[in-house]
Amino acid sequence: MNSLDSDDLEEIRRKRIADMRKAQQQKQELLSNGHGKYEELADEREFFEAAKKSAKFVCHFYDPAVFRCKVVDKCLEKLAAKHIPTRFVKINAEKVQFLIKRLNIRIIPTIGISLDSKMVDYIRVFEELGKSDDVKVDDLEKRLANCGALELPKIAKPKNALKTVPKQQKSIRSSAKDESDEDW
């Protein structure tokens, strides 16, 4: 940084501002396409249109009579607001029987993950994330990140983090530096 003159710094500043404007424009475009919120789709046509518009697409296939679907809804609402690049939707399984048969969905609730308009994974929530009615948002978030639907922020280690030292094996008649083959 010390060797840079004012022209170089100005160029870096302009490039950074241009990058920030581009990122903001992309975010606004995603928000206008329904990203950042969790909404319901009415039929198959809306499902296919939404999946085509979004590179990362998460769809909850639900039944309004099933309590566990409401639990999944709460988790996905939180994730939708947190992960703008991914579109989160839900669709009533009773209204889209053709789609349910085509995607071979047998268990409700199921979450379908589409990347670049191709269904790549399915999460059968209560089979994979626990049998109880309590699903943790963090567990679902990690599972969605594993299949590529979400990007989790990388956690940087602090510079002054403690380093662990392996415990040395000790015995009564030896030391850590004992290289002798003799026993006395």
Q: Domain residues of the chain, as ranges?
A: 25-146
Mean pLDDT estimate for the chain? 80
Checking if the pLDDT of 160 tops 60, the result is no
Checking if the pLDDT of 82 tops 80, the result is yes
Q: Residue 62's pLDDT is what?
A: 92
Quick one: average pLDDT of 142-165? Answer: 70
Q: Residue 127's pLDDT is what?
A: 83
Share of the chain above pLDDT 90, in %: 13
**How far apart, in whole angstroms, are the C-alpha atoms of residue 159 and residue 143?**
29
Q: Residue 92's pLDDT is what?
A: 92
Q: Residue 126's pLDDT is what?
A: 82
For 161-178, the pLDDT digits (tens) are: 555 555 566 566 666 565
**How far apart, in whole angstroms, are the C-alpha atoms of residue 94 and residue 171?**
68
For 123-133, the pLDDT digits (tens) are: 888 888 777 77
Which of 39, 42, 57, 58 lies closest to 92, judged by CA?
Answer: 42
For 4-46, the pLDDT digits (tens) are: 777 788 888 888 988 888 877 777 776 666 677 888 988 999 8
Quick one: average pLDDT of 85-104? Answer: 90
Q: Which CATH architecture has domain 25-146?
A: 3-Layer(aba) Sandwich (3.40)
Global pTM? 0.69
CA angle in degrees (0–180, nearest 5) for 136-139-142: 150
**How far apart, in whole angstroms, are the C-alpha atoms of residue 11 and residue 16?**
9
Q: Residue 23's pLDDT is what?
A: 78
Where residue 151 falls among pLDDT bands split at 50, 70, 90? confident
Where residue 111 falls among pLDDT bands split at 50, 70, 90? very high
Looking at residue 87, the DSSP 8-state letter turns out to be: E
